[in-house]
Amino acid sequence: MAAPAVSESARQVVIDGAELPYVLVRRRGRRRLTLTVEPRHGLRVLAPLRLSLREIEGFITRERDWLRERLDEAAAWEQAHPLRRFEDGETLLLLGERWTLRVREELGRSRARVERGARFEGPGTITLRLPEGLRAGERREAAAAALERWYRRLAKELLSARVAHWSAATGLAPTRLSVRDTRSRWGSCSARGHLSFNWKIVMAPPAVVDYLVVHELCHLRHLDHSPRFWTLVGRHCPDYERARRWLRRRGRELYL
- pLDDT (tens digit, 9 = 90+) per residue, 100-132? 999 999 999 999 999 876 566 667 899 999 999
Structurally, the chain folds into a number of domains equal to: 3
34-38, strands of its sheet edge to edge: 5-15, 18-27, 42-48, 34-38
Predicted confidence (pLDDT) per residue in 37-62, tens digit? 988 889 999 999 989 999 999 999 99
Q: Would you tell me how many other CB atoms lie within 10 Å of the CB of residue 29? A: 10
- Label residue 161 by pLDDT band (50, 70, 90): very high
Mean pLDDT of 137-162: 96
Query: For all residues of the chain together, what is the average pLDDT?
Result: 93
**170 and 226 part of one domain:** yes
SS3 of residue 160 by DSSP: helix
Whether 125 and 182 share a structural domain = no
Closest CA to 223 of 172, 178, 177: 172
Write the CA distances from 33 to 9, 24, 174, 222, 237, integer angstroms: 16, 10, 29, 24, 32
Do 247 and 164 belong together in one domain?
yes
175-204 pLDDT per residue, tens: 999 999 987 789 999 999 999 999 999 999
Instruction: Please check whether residues 164 and 222 belong to one and the same domain.
Output: yes
pTM comes to 0.81
Residue 43 lies in a domain: yes
Last residue of a domain, one of 80, 111, 131: 80
| Residues 242, 164 share a domain | yes
Strands (E) across the chain are located at: 5-15, 18-27, 34-38, 42-48, 91-94, 97-106, 113-114, 125-131, 176-180, 187-189, 194-198
User: Do residues 113 and 120 make contact, with C-beta atoms less than 8 angstroms apart?
Assistant: no
Q: Which domain holds residue 174?
A: 157-253
126, 152 contact by CB (below 8 A) = no
Per residue in 203-240, pLDDT tens? 999 999 999 999 999 999 999 999 999 999 999 999 99
The yes-or-no verdict on residue 22 having pLDDT over 50 is yes
- Residue whose C-alpha is closest to residue 178's, from 199, 149, 201: 199
